[in-house]
A = this chain, B = another copy of it.
């Protein structure tokens, strides 16, 4: 008999997908260029040529059985080594190859990290606004995802509520900075404060509490800033990364977990993820994709377009009177809707072919997300539609 639990999930439609599907349908009626589709976080920038060239080179020059053979259980050594070196150089950590566990993107990284440091009955805390898939990632681990309400004044962390919710059962804290959907980058002050609280709580409860740091947007940061590297501030950190955004490779499912060498039991965590992998049916990302990425893991696509788009949108939102926090990174912005019901707001926007996603999908009411990974010309045209929308409807 089929599993009713998974069958029931088919009825719960993703609001992001619903709006995105509407956009696709609308594009067939009025042309793709006329639909201002801000629904999906699909990177728009081309993959660096170096990636393509290197992959072709590898296909031509490595004997096929060596290239496409099984990777070792804990991943391709060259990929692990190059990532460790790259992170060490950039962030001053002391990773070795054995601290890197290759995964099929950040989703797979989080799946492994969660299971490594929590067990059924534990609680994993995250902070709204948050990527709604986190609920689905957590459920099959048997742990419970506990959500701290948003600090809507800055989209940093609501520490008061966090300190109320953390308890003996808390095994991990799942953070996402730069943040989807708010675009906020956690400040050094925020991360230090979080680390400080966790250090105290670890002592109080006499067990480790890990930070699982979901960082696929780490390289998309504005105003020439850099994102504070979480693992530098807290030893028990598992850094989950994906090349989906920085190399525009979301379909290749490629990323890693980096285990802080200073973490408790750091020597066991990657081998444990190798075991976890067997139960998930994961067993390494594609060998060809690891080979392709390892030589370009220090570069990114040209991501300046995201900053250009952000500035255009932010300025117009302010001009039109929206309440909005200026994003520090990502390709998202998260303004307050002009009425309480964000869904009603987004439905009205459809009349102007503006496709937004209501914030209920991210654990906050009354906001909406715009994913501005689209071309700048379309952003400019969309802002005229936005102006008409606001003036005619509000």
Contacts and interface: CB of A to CB of B under 8 A. Distances in A.
B60 A56 contact: yes
A118 interface: yes
Can you tell how many copies of this chain the complex includes? 2
Contacts of A208: 1-2
Nearest to A284: B253
A305 interface: no
Interface in A107-129: 107-112, 115-119
Interface in A94-116: 103-105, 107-112, 115-116
A381 interface: no
A1 B46 contact: no
Contact of A283 (B5, B253, B286): B253
Interface in A50-77: 52, 55-56, 59-60, 63-65, 67-71, 73
A140 to B, nearest CB: 4
A140 B279 contact: yes
B69 A251 contact: yes
A285 B252 CA distance: 7
A45 B45 CA distance: 38
A279 B139 contact: yes
A288 interface: yes
Count chain B CB atoms within 10 A of each CB in A56, A108, A140, A286 and give the residue with the most: A286
A136 to B, nearest CB: 4
A276 to B, nearest CB: 6
Interface in A224-254: 248-254
A207 B275 CA distance: 33
B56 A7 contact: no
A268 interface: yes
Contact of A248 (B9, B68, B110, B275): B68
Contacts of A70: 42, 250-251
A252 B2 contact: no
Contact of A104 (B278, B279, B283): B283
A335 interface: no
Given A70-B250, A252-B286, A264-B2, A280 B278 contact: no
Given A278-B107, A280-B281, A68 B251 contact: yes
Given A70-B251, A71-B251, A286-B253, A117 B2 contact: yes
Nearest to A112: B281
A220 to B, nearest CB: 16
A394 interface: no
A386 B280 CA distance: 39
A132 B47 CA distance: 40
A59 B55 contact: yes
Given A2-B208, A275-B9, A281-B112, A69 B250 contact: yes
20 contacts: A3-B272, A6-B115, A6-B272, A6-B276, A9-B275, A10-B268, A42-B69, A55-B59, A68-B248, A69-B250, A103-B281, A104-B281, A136-B278, A140-B279, A252-B286, A281-B282, A282-B282, A285-B286, A288-B289, A289-B289
